[in-house]
């Protein structure tokens, strides 16, 4: 053995492992076997596996299956990982064995090494840290638990913040009337509060969609072990594990009524990912609306001015771009792509086990993280700070021939169309042309065509 390596062995034989590594032979084999992407499973996922190991140790001690000295040492090792220590000790590529066995054993080996030092005796990665467990139930459980925790701790608060910021902005702009647009073409006027109110409801509906999906995410595979039968786990393990984990996290986890469903499918995560895709679609719409409204400043719509955050061009001095909406749109595209990956991976539950679990874990957690982060950026660096270019709005409103729609009940569609076409062709305000082409008085037309009034709906008489 050189100074840089030590010899480790597993059921397949001996191999060199870095001398200072906390992991053992199975982790090293996975590192050697899967030099694919350089992407590793996120720390939130590794921490969740440690949380599972801690809860399992507690349950196994309570059931008299695990020695208290070893069990407490395992719990202490888990706490170190939960505090963010030892992250470089989890180097395995996302694109690995489809069950995630390599990652489960990586955590088992690191925790066994740490626990052995704490206990002053050998703690086995398989027999002690992994007692009553299989990669086939640990990894599906970790996907559910990590996704639920990240939704609660990160995504849902961020979406709620975004919704509130939009709603506050809408209230402050309730007095502002602008040209509505359908097909990107001028339409009847709307209040800016109405436009933003639509955005806010999209986000609040997204929150509701996540909350509606979570009860199925709370159902756990733990206790199913290898194929769902619970072989080599205490009969009471699954129920007690869910109770301990619920107590540790504050979330209502429970044993799935069919552990076979939990091991062989990831339908709950496919569903959750679909809801995240809807939120991504909502954010894409909001981001693109902001980009259009901000376009210009001279040759575009120029309705609003987003906060200037950084120079926009390496060649055009003074150019400033809508960088936060652009980042938001890219996040939306990534999340939509992640959903496609998760959908395909979710189909790979052949017989008793899904065999694309690591890529499901990576993508669902990335989607949750990206949506949470960009929602706060969109709220704080774009929506909260944009200003309205009211002169531009009012000039466009005055020239908008579609305002004549309000006269349909009085002069009829055909006559209104003549007025609109004449106003557009002549480039004149609709009220001036309507005064000439109808028998309505200017005073009456001012009331009928007042943009703010037209945002309230109803029928003009």
Q: Which residues are catalytic?
A: 183, 313
Q: How many CB atoms lie within 10 A of CB 395?
A: 14
Q: Are the C-beta atoms of 332 and 287 separated by less than 8 Å?
A: yes
- Phi, psi torsion values for 391, nearest 5 degrees: -60, -45
Q: Strands of 89-216 (E only): list them.
A: 177-182, 185-191
Give Cα 214 distance to the centre of its chain. Answer: 13
| Tally of CB atoms within 10 A around 346 | 19
- Cβ proximity of 448 and 438 under 8 Å: no
Strand partners, 181: 186
Q: Where are the beta strands (DSSP E) in 192-323?
A: 219-220, 254-255, 304-305
Strands 13-18 and 349-350, sheet pairing:
unpaired
Which pair of structure tokens corresponds to residue 84?
């963010």
- Between CA 312 and CA 51 the distance in angstroms is 45
Residue of 415, 391, 420 lying closest to 403 (CA atoms): 420
Backbone angles phi, psi at 410, to 5 degrees: -100, -45
**SS3 label, residue 63:** coil
Joined together, the tokens standing for residue 139 give 């990894």
Tokens of 205: 């509906």
């Amino acid at each position: 053995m050189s100074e840089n390596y030590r010899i480790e062995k597993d059921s397949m034989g001996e191999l060199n492992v870095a001398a200072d590594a906390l992991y053992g032979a199975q982790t090293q084999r996975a590192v050697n076997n899967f030099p694919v992407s350089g992407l590793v499973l996120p720390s939130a996922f590794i921490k969740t596996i440690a949380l599972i190991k801690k809860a399992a140790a507690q349950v196994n001690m309570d059931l008299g299956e695990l020695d208290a000295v070893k069990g407490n040492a395992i719990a202490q090792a888990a706490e170190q990982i939960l505090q963010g220590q030892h992250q470089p000790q989890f180097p395995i590529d996302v694109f690995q064995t489809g069950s995630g066995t390599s990652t489960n054993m990586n955590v088992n080996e690191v925790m066994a090494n740490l626990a052995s030092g704490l206990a002053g005796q050998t703690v086995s990665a398989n027999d002690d840290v992994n007692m009553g467990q299989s990669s086939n139930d640990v990894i599906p459980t970790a996907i559910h638990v990590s996704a639920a925790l990240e939704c609660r701790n990160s995504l849902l608060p961020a979406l709620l913040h975004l919704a509130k910021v939009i709603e506050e902005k809408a209230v402050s702009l309730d007095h502002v009337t602008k040209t509505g647009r359908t097909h990107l073409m001028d339409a009847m006027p709307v209040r800016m509060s109405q436009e933003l109110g639509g955005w806010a409801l999209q986000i609040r509906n997204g929150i509701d969609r996540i909350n509606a999906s979570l009860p199925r995410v709370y159902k756990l595979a733990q206790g199913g072990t290898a194929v769902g039968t619970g072989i080599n786990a205490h009969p009471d393990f699954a129920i007690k594990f869910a109770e301990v984990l619920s107590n540790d996290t504050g979330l209502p986890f429970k044993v799935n009524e069919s552990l076979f469903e939990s091991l062989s499918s990831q339908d709950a995560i496919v569903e959750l990912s679909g809801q995240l895709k809807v939120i991504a679609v909502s954010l894409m719409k909001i981001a693109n609306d902001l980009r259009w409204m901000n376009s210009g400043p001279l040759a575009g719509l120029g309705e609003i001015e987003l906060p200037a955050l950084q120079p926009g061009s390496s060649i055009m001095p003074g150019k400033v771009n809508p960088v936060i909406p652009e980042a938001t749109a890219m996040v939306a595209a990534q999340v939509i792509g992640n959903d496609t990956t998760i959908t395909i991976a979710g189909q790979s539950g052949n017989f008793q086990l899904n065999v694309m679990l690591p890529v499901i874990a990576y993508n669902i957690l990335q989607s949750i993280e990206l949506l949470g982060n960009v929602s706060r950026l969109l709220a704080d660096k774009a929506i909260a700070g944009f200003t309205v270019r009211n002169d531009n709005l009012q000039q466009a409103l005055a020239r908008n021939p579609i305002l004549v729609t309000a006269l349909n009940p009085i002069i009829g569609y055909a006559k209104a169309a003549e007025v609109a076409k004449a106003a557009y062709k002549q480039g004149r305000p609709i009220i001036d042309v309507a005064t000439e082409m109808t028998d309505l008085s200017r005073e009456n037309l001012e009331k009928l065509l007042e943009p703010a009034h037209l945002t309230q709906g109803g029928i003009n008489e």
